[in-house]
Amino acid sequence: MTAIQLNAALFRELNVIVTDEELMGKTIKALRRITSKRRRVMSARKSEEAIDLPADFLDLRGCVSLTPDEIASDDRLAYLHRK
C-alpha cells in the first residue's frame, strides 16, 4: 500500500474508534506502545553510530582561553573564528 492509501485506511478505522471511549483508550495505549518501541529502536541506532573524530580531538578536555595572537597563528583556529 502507498502512504496515501495507508493514511486513508487509518482515518477510516479512526472514524469507528472515536465513537467509543473504551476503544479510544485502547488505541492510545497501543499507539504509545508502538511509538515508544520505535523511539527505543531509533535511539539504539543513534548510539551505535560511530563518530569519526581525530584522535587528538578526543583528548581535549575542559575550556580553553586563547589570545587573539594564538588564534591568528593557527590557520584552523583563524578559519573557525571567522565563521
Q: pLDDT tens for residues 1-33?
A: 899 999 999 999 999 999 899 999 999 999 899
pTM greater than 0.75 (yes/no): no
C-alpha 46/C-alpha 40 separation (Å) is 10
Closest CA to 54 of 76, 81, 75: 76
Question: Around 37, how many Cα atoms within 13 Å sit in the side-chain half-sphere?
Answer: 6
Exposure string of 65-76, with b = 16+ CB inside 10 Å and e = fewer, is eeeeeeeeeeee
pLDDT band, residue 51 (cuts 50/70/90): low
> Is 72 strand, coil or helix?
helix
